[in-house]
Amino acid sequence: AGQLKGLIAAPDRYRQEMNMGGMAMAMVVGPGGAFAAMAGQTQEMPGSQRDEMSKELKRNVLIIARGRDGAGLTVNHAGTAKVGDASAELLEIAHDGAGVRWAVDPTNGHVLSAAYRGSGPEGPAEMVSTYTDYKQVDGVWLPHGETVTQNGEPAQTIMIESFRINPGCDPKLFEKPTP
């Protein structure tokens, strides 16, 4: 098991920091480009990885909610479904080229799951994230548990220890380090 820390600076900057077995790595995508940094080395992120990370940001619940009145976002009702024992309303969302289908609990507005076409280790895949353990953070209900399947098979389980909303961040975290 490793640790993952995500930092989003809306609307278009995203940084993931990973620590797996003592090996630290950061991946950054933003208007200035995309790169990965590890062990003092930095390299440009391949286009496909950059595009997938950018789409991941555009599928984020908080980013979509924040940009709900903006251009490039469409939301359409797509029927109903069950997620576990809960009834859900389905929403088809397109956000600047990133598509996602949310299953939303009509009683409280919680996103129960998100289904999208993404990339896995073997290439393109049907991904489904199921969200659980909602807790209120600064007045916003956020899921602290996530289970991801890839092509119907379990892929990962994520337990979120904490969220911080609007913590402020150093813009240099999104800049490519100079050698």
From its phi and psi, is residue 7 left (phi > 0), alpha (psi between -120 and 50) or beta? Answer: beta
Share of the chain above pLDDT 70, in %: 99
Q: Is the pLDDT reported for residue 20 higher than 90?
A: no
- Split at pLDDT 50, 70, 90, the class of 1 is low
Paired strand residues for 103: 90, 113
3-state secondary structure of 161: coil
Q: Is the pLDDT reported for residue 121 higher than 90?
A: no
Rg (CA), the chain: 17
**Mean pLDDT, residues 15-39:** 90
Round to whole Å and give the CA distance between 44 and 21: 24
* pLDDT of the residue at 23: 87
Say if CB 128 and CB 114 are below 8 A apart.
yes
* pLDDT of the residue at 113: 98
Q: CA torsion, points 49, 28, 13, 99, in degrees to nearest 10?
A: 20
pLDDT in tens, 42-81: 999 999 889 999 999 999 988 888 877 777 899 999 999 9
Q: Is the pLDDT reported for residue 101 higher than 70?
A: yes
Q: Is the pLDDT reported for residue 123 higher than 80?
A: yes
**Mean pLDDT, residues 81-101:** 95
Neighbours of 137 (CB within 10 A): 14
Q: Is the pLDDT reported for residue 173 higher than 80?
A: yes
* pLDDT of the residue at 103: 98
**Mean pLDDT, residues 86-102:** 95
* pLDDT of the residue at 109: 96
Q: Is the pLDDT reported for residue 11 higher than 80?
A: yes
Burial 64-94 (b: 16+ CB within 10 A, else e): beebeeeeebeeeeeeeeebeebebbbbebe
